[in-house]
Chains A and B, each alone.
Chain A
Amino acid sequence: GENVEQHPSTLSVQEGDSAVIKCTYSDSASNYFPWYKQELGKRPQLIIDIRSNVGEKKDQRIAVTLNKTAKHFSLHITETQPEDSAVYFCAASLGSNYKLTFGKGTLLTVNP
């Protein structure tokens, strides 16, 4: 089955800096890659996603890049703010009606 590795497990940055989180996946058939943000005790919330027919997607301060050949994808957050502090999870899926396989998460701390 699919296996998703996520790095780093913790990331601390100064407010205004950029943050990058990287994930690799094992199943070349996976074609949907969402990123979720989870604050302590809250539900995971989708922040951005990308399908395999696209190499990059951007939404304001957040961007995701996908390299299908290397089977890795990355989350980029620019101009970080303290409210960006949370755990971020990457995931991979075979498509719309298939399970998500999650990475183990990255605890991002943005220091004011």
Chain B
Amino acid sequence: GAGVSQSPRYKVAKRGQDVALRCDPISGHVSLFWYQQALGQGPEFLTYFQNEAQLDKSGLPSDRFFAERPEGSVSTLKIQRTQQEDSAVYLCASRPRGTRVPYEQYFGPGTRLTVT
């Protein structure tokens, strides 16, 4: 079946512009995570949704970062007034409901954001 998809795959923004990054999780997956991966580093947690509820946003680096998942499926990560330090790959991951299913988080291909 289809995996996690993200769009756009690449985004170039001028400093100060707003951007919106989209994540389409695997159908039926309840949990959705956003991670930020800087060049040469491991992914770092940004925020977590269970259905439409944002249960953890402790990793969002500033109030310029905002995420939503209004209908419990597609999620959007918005970055306002982009800065050069926001340049990174933004990864989305999802997993199904339940404790009897594997714990694996399934990752999307990421959106590479470059702020010039």
Q: Which residues of chain A come closer than 8 Å to B56, judged between CB atoms?
A: 99
**Interface extent on A, as a size class?**
20 to 34
Q: Closest approach, in angstroms, between the C-beta of A10 and any C-beta of chain B?
A: 11
| 10 A-B contacts (beta carbon < 8 Å) | A43-B4, A43-B107, A45-B107, A89-B42, A93-B103, A95-B103, A97-B31, A99-B48, A100-B35, A100-B105
Interface string of B20-60 (1 = CB under 8 A from A): 00000000000101010000111111001010000010010
Q: Closest approach, in angstroms, between the C-beta of A36 and any C-beta of chain B?
A: 8
Residue in B closest to A97 when the chains form the complex, CB atoms = B31
Contact B103 A105 (CB under 8 A): no
Closest 3 CB pairs of A and B: A102-B42, A99-B45, A43-B107
Q: Closest approach, in angstroms, between the C-beta of B50 and any C-beta of chain A?
A: 7
Q: Which residues of chain B come closer than 8 Å to A102, judged between CB atoms?
A: 42-44
Q: Which residues of chain A come closer than 8 Å to B95, judged between CB atoms?
A: 96-97
Q: Which residues of chain B come closer than 8 Å to A49, judged between CB atoms?
A: 102-104
